[in-house]
Chain A
Amino acid sequence: MDVTEAEYQHPLMAAYWKQLDTRFPQVEAVFEDCMAEALAVLTREGLDAYLEAARVIGKLGRGAEPMLAFMEEWPSVAKSVGEAALPPVMALIQRLQKSPNGRAIAPFLQTLAAVARRLQSQEQLQHYLDITLELKARTTGSIHGHHTTFPSPGLPDFLAQAPSLLVQLSVAGLRNWVEYGIRNYAKHPERQKDYFSLQSADARAVLQRERHGTLLADVERKLDLYLRGLWQDSDHLVPYSTAFDEIRKPVPYYDKLGMRLPDVYDDAGEISGLDRYRATLAHMVGHRRWSEAQVADNWSPFQRMAVEFFEDCRVETLLMREYPGLSRIFLALHPKPAEDACDPETTSCLRHRLAMLSRALLDPEHGYRDADLNDFVARFHAILEKGESSTREIAALALSYVARTRRPSDQLAKVHFDGTVVDYRDDNRQLWKFIEEGDEEEAFDQKRKIEPGEEFKGLPPRHYPEWDYHSQTYRPDWVSLYERLHPSGNAADIDRLLQKHDALAKRLKRLLDLLKPQDKVRVRYQEEGSELDLDVALRSLIDFKGGATPDPRINMSHKTSGRDIAVMLLLDLSESLNEKAAGSEQTILELSQEAVSLLAWSIEKLGDPFAIAGFHSNTRHDVRYLHIKGYSEHWNDEVKARLAAMEAGWSTRMGAAMRHAAHYLGKRPADKKLMLVLTDGQPADVDAQDARLLIEDARQAVKELDRDGIFAYCISLDPKADEYVSDIFGRQYTVVDNIQRLPEKLPELFMALTK
């Protein structure tokens, strides 16, 4: 077919077609429909601009697809955000066209209408365009920084995901989400694609963090308190995801594993997300308290639905009887269907009738005029007047309601759904029991398969977040940390080391004796004290009688000076420890070994609870935390053997190790908690190109420790440490320049810290 020959009956239509100046048959196929919509929506000038823009897009040399998308989408975009949005959109298309990202034009245009519907204002749309441009600019690859040659790998995926992202995120949230992807995956095309197509775990995790609304994770404790405090009930609160399930729309429910709630609730009008959670929980509690399961087999689906609505209202009435303030929340969340919203001639109105009834049962000022409805409302209240009633009694009422109001149209396939969904109610699965499993004649007993349990070798990894100082946020579950027992060596080696430092040990022992707690100390010569110190008092009296000035400090009191300190020693076991210490034949590792042995010996003498662990890392996926001594272990041969086998290798990812150590130290019941970090260099790892990143993360870890009441103190063996260590530890550090003196320095430092 020769397209240019296309004949349009209407002269105006023919003129438009001419203006469009295109030969794509696909465009011709939809041209009339598009124009019909455009004529309805656009102004005269807008129409001209529309055709001109479509012409330009058609001439870009990227096939019919972009033009087709534009022709179809633009009228509805213009309807949502106004015609004035066209110039910036065209500007963006030009930018994409001039960069290697021309292929992204089609996906951009295809989702533009859905995006515009979400954003609803030109200003917001402009933000979206800016984000797109930013993503394009920062992920388009270049070789040696001269040419922009490779298209952005993530851009088309991002544009395809944009509508569903905007359902869950505000524009600001979207910006953060994109920013995270750019920052972390700018140099990794495959990962970038995974991220922007929402395939990777952290894409979802960051999305979850940026979502609008009230997250269940944030209010879980409040809800638990709510259940316990107001309802004397408690259960696991299990979130289900609402983000990735657009069609099925799960409903809250409870079973023996816990109460299932959506992971996020947006505010609904004046009702906050938290109150929506409370309403949902209260409703479930109502069922748990007052409902009993009914046999479902003999009732039709309609009858069951009616029973569910009646029973829901019964428990809610009882709930509101307990806490009248709940009615405000229930009524605000309950839809109020208009009485004439549903036409019973053409549509199945059962849901609509029941929703109205449900409203009327809860709301005394419902204002519905229907006679049957008002009759049943009165009967319902009459039953509940007498007490709590029961599921069985209310079900009988429901059945007679169905019988009274039944209409032939209830069977119609077209069901009226609008305003009939009460979204804080659970799905009532606990209300039913089924005698027969299914409709099949015979149900064969299914054999249960029991999977043989997998045996774990070592502990499963623990995941820790890492601080990203660029965005001032945590990267969720970024680091995988594996904890294992340190391999053992020969304990006698350590004893030999201690022997070598015999003289030092003796000196330390004297210091230790001074530190040892002596439980009760008498404080004498007090002007005010708990007891009269008779000796001193008599002496004063004699002075007084003799005419001299008496000493008024004649009382004494007691005080206890105990020690209650838990200590954690964290050793950096990275590769650099294998170097020789300056001016010495020993490696730093050997010197550390001696120092740690002496320290451990001293602390054991003092009796403070004490643990030792080492760490090194090989990228964020493999941080190893080596257990050397636990709090319940004594300074015995087993511990010494582990210490003797100490080896160095890999890198220093300090933040994760500190967080893990803090998780043990934090659980100690001691008054004071001290974490000593012995390191010889700055935090670094092979997968962190930015040197500041792990320093800032460690600094954040120190802040977290501080918040948890743990005092972190660093002993650095790096002569250049002054450049960064104060950034991490503030003033809580010592740099040991003369590493040879470490064995005596370390215990002394500890005692000075805990005196």
Chain B
Amino acid sequence: MIDKDQYKVQQEPYYQPQQNEVALYEAAYRNRLPVMVKGPTGCGKSRFVEYMAWKLGKPLITVACNEDMTASDLVGRYLLEANGTRWLDGPLTSAARIGAICYLDEIVEARQDTTVVIHPLTDHRRTLPLDKKGELINAHPDFQLVISYNPGYQSLMKDLKQSTKQRFTAFDFDYPASELETTILAKETGLDGATAARLVKIGQTARNLKGHGLDEGISTRLLVYAATLIKDGVAPRDACRMALVRPITDDADIRETLDHAIDAVFA
């Protein structure tokens, strides 16, 4: 039997609610509805799921999806052993057996034919057929499926099928409003409010440039990195260049504009 406790979230993660999403999630969980969390990268999607798992006291199994992932990576596969073959459960199967929240992070990164295997778990059936093994798993009553994806890619290749989309309830996340984001930075890193507000201002500068050479603005996560560096004693300008500008772009014009914004904010 799988050790359930290893998947439990041990400490309370810091999460700052933006609206009433916590209550809504709890309602979805009460009815075991599958949940989709949308939003740009680094806006707190994973943190939210982690927080909810902690709040509900359920184990959380996270799968980071990637292009090479196949259905067997989710469901499980036969392995060869000295005297025959042995079945190994995949993370999805494990979650369905032990009653965990299964979190498929960045699901569009996986190929579309892969994601179809989650369908029987997401409707009224709540089952997972293991055709290779010839077994039908009835999901544990505590089991819930959560997926996250970033609609910002806007690529024909990276989108969910309608049939997948329409099996989920959804949260639309965005970067928090500036006061809230300032609080988050201050709380997460212990940085003083004034400096945190300046970092948020730089972050917004970059978010305004989305679609004009930037695919994504500066995420809250990067702002937290910058705040952490400043807290550690790095000069604010250097910290911002290192954590905010250099990672997100190689475009010289944008880089120069953001550098200028940093100079303008940290006068």
Contacts and interface: CB of A to CB of B under 8 A. Distances in A.
Contacts of B80: 537, 540-541, 554
Closest 7 CB pairs of A and B: A324-B267, A325-B264, A323-B264, A325-B267, A225-B257, A530-B70, A229-B205
B254 interface: yes
Interface in A491-533: 530-532
A222 B261 CA distance: 12
Contacts of B258: 229
B263 A229 contact: no
Instruction: Tell me which of A224, A225, A532 has the highest count of chain B C-beta atoms within 10 A of its own C-beta.
Output: A225
Given A325-B264, A530-B68, A225 B209 contact: yes
Contacts of B68: 530
A229 B256 contact: no
Given A230-B205, A530-B68, A532-B77, A225 B267 contact: no
Given A228-B212, A541-B84, 16 more contacts: A221-B253, A222-B256, A225-B257, A228-B208, A228-B209, A229-B206, A230-B208, A230-B261, A275-B260, A326-B267, A531-B77, A532-B72, A537-B78, A537-B85, A541-B85, A554-B80
Contacts of A324: 264-265, 267
Contacts of B90: none
Contact of B265 (A222, A232, A325): A325
Nearest to A540: B80
B266 interface: yes
Contact of B266 (A225, A325, A540): A325
B190 interface: no
B213 interface: yes
Contacts of B266: 325
A325 B263 contact: yes
A734 interface: no
A278 interface: yes
Contact of A229 (B78, B84, B85, B209): B209
Nearest to A225: B257
A226 interface: yes
A328 B267 contact: yes
A652 B254 CA distance: 41
A446 B49 CA distance: 68
A402 B77 CA distance: 87
A274 B264 CA distance: 14
B88 to A, nearest CB: 11
Interface residues on B, range: 20 to 34
Contacts of A232: 208
Contacts of B254: 225
Instruction: Tell me which of B72, B254, B264 has the highest count of chain A C-beta atoms within 10 A of its own C-beta.
Output: B264
Interface string A536-547: 010011000000
Interface in A209-247: 221-222, 224-226, 228-230, 232
Interface of A: 221-222, 224-226, 228-230, 232, 274-275, 278, 323-328, 530-532, 537, 540-541, 554
B207 to A, nearest CB: 9
Contacts of B257: 222, 225-226, 229-230
Given A225-B213, A225-B253, A532 B208 contact: no
A175 to B, nearest CB: 29
Contact of B208 (A229, A274, A275, A325): A229
A230 B256 CA distance: 12
15 contacts: A225-B253, A226-B260, A228-B212, A229-B258, A230-B264, A232-B208, A275-B260, A323-B265, A324-B264, A325-B263, A530-B73, A531-B72, A531-B77, A537-B80, A537-B85
A531 B212 contact: no
A325 B259 CA distance: 12
B131 to A, nearest CB: 12
B78 A532 contact: yes
A270 to B, nearest CB: 13
B179 to A, nearest CB: 16
A287 B91 CA distance: 58
Given A229-B257, A537-B80, A554-B80, A224 B264 contact: no
A541 B205 CA distance: 61
Given A228-B212, A229-B258, A541-B80, A326 B72 contact: no
Contacts of A325: 263-267
A554 to B, nearest CB: 7
Nearest to B217: A229
Contacts of B205: 229-230
Contacts of A274: 256
A141 to B, nearest CB: 48
Contacts of A531: 70, 72, 77
Interface in B190-239: 205-206, 208-209, 212-213
B256 to A, nearest CB: 6
A230 B254 CA distance: 12
Nearest to B211: A228
A325 B256 CA distance: 15
B31 to A, nearest CB: 35
A229 B258 CA distance: 8
A365 to B, nearest CB: 15
B159 to A, nearest CB: 17
B68 to A, nearest CB: 7
Given A222-B253, A554-B80, A229 B265 contact: no
Interface in B19-68: 68
Instruction: Tell me which of A226, A230, A324 has the highest count of chain B C-beta atoms within 10 A of its own C-beta.
Output: A230
A232 B204 CA distance: 10
B103 to A, nearest CB: 22
A537 B265 CA distance: 63
Contacts of B212: 224-225, 228
Nearest to B209: A229
A232 B253 CA distance: 17
A274 B256 CA distance: 10
A707 B227 CA distance: 39
B5 to A, nearest CB: 31
A229 B72 contact: no
Nearest to A231: B208
Interface in B75-99: 77-78, 80, 84-85
A669 to B, nearest CB: 10
Nearest to A329: B264
A532 B264 CA distance: 58
A233 B146 CA distance: 38
A156 B70 CA distance: 79
A127 B265 CA distance: 46
Nearest to A327: B267
Nearest to A232: B208
A677 B77 CA distance: 53
Contacts of A222: 253, 256-257
Contacts of B206: 229
Contacts of A541: 80, 84-85
A647 B208 CA distance: 53
A327 B256 CA distance: 19
Instruction: Tell me which of A228, A229, A531, A540 has the highest count of chain B C-beta atoms within 10 A of its own C-beta.
Output: A229
Nearest to B68: A530
B77 to A, nearest CB: 6
B260 A278 contact: yes
A222 B259 CA distance: 12
B76 to A, nearest CB: 11
Contacts of A229: 205-206, 208-209, 257-258, 261
Contacts of A221: 253
Instruction: Tell me which of A224, A228, A328 has the highest count of chain B C-beta atoms within 10 A of its own C-beta.
Output: A228
Contacts of B263: 325
Contacts of B260: 226, 230, 275, 278
B200 to A, nearest CB: 13
Contacts of A537: 78, 80, 85
A540 B264 CA distance: 68
Contacts of A327: 267
B1 to A, nearest CB: 25
Contacts of B209: 225, 228-229
A275 B263 CA distance: 12
